[in-house]
């Protein structure tokens, strides 16, 4: 890929990752709201199912970040020109941290999201 093609590619992938992380946060918020509304006795299912959506959107963000990792995250390798890491490294690392965290949180909610409700309301 040429330099002039790399910049739009990286920006597009980081934008997609940002959108996926925002959707993960919205799924988490919707799950909490719907889980605690207590309209019926099984509302915690919505909280638990929101974990699946959080994992889905976080995995999509991880994919887009992985595709750009060859250009941004050089690690310990010697690179003659690390301008991509200088320009996009901070945003990349923040998105990577958020996607990893949301993936872990979503997995825990998806697997164990019913337990707090069952303990609190003795369902």
- pLDDT single digits (tens) 68-98: 887 776 555 544 446 767 778 788 889 999 9
The count of structural domains within the chain is: 1
Whether the CB-CB separation of 95 and 57 falls below 8 Å is answered with: no
Do residues 41 and 120 lie in contact, with contact meaning Cβ atoms separated by under 8 Å?
no
What pLDDT sits at residue 101? Answer: 96
pTM value? 0.83
The predicted structure's pLDDT at residue 122: 67
**Helix axis angle, 83-112 relative to 3-37, nearest 10°?**
20
C-alpha 63: how far from its chain's center?
Answer: 10
What's the pLDDT at 119? 79
Highest mean pLDDT out of 1-5, 23-27, 43-47, 78-82: 23-27
Average pLDDT over residues 100-115: 93
Contact 75, 27 (CB under 8 A): no
Cα-trace Rg, the chain: 18
**What residues make up the domain containing 47?**
3-121
């Amino acid at each position: 890929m040429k330099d002039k093609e790399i910049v739009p590619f990286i920006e597009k992938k980081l934008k997609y990752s940002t959108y996926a992380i925002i959707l993960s946060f919205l799924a988490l918020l919707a799950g909490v709201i719907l889980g605690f509304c207590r309209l019926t006795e099984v509302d915690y299912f919505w909280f638990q199912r929101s974990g699946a959506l959080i994992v889905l959107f976080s995995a999509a963000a991880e994919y887009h970040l992985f595709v750009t990792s060859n250009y941004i995250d050089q690690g310990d390798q010697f690179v003659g020109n690390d301008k991509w890491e200088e320009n996009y490294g901070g945003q990349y690392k923040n998105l990577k941290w958020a996607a990893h965290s949301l993936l872990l949180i979503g997995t825990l909610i998806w697997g164990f999201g019913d337990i707090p409700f069952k303990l609190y309301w003795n369902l």
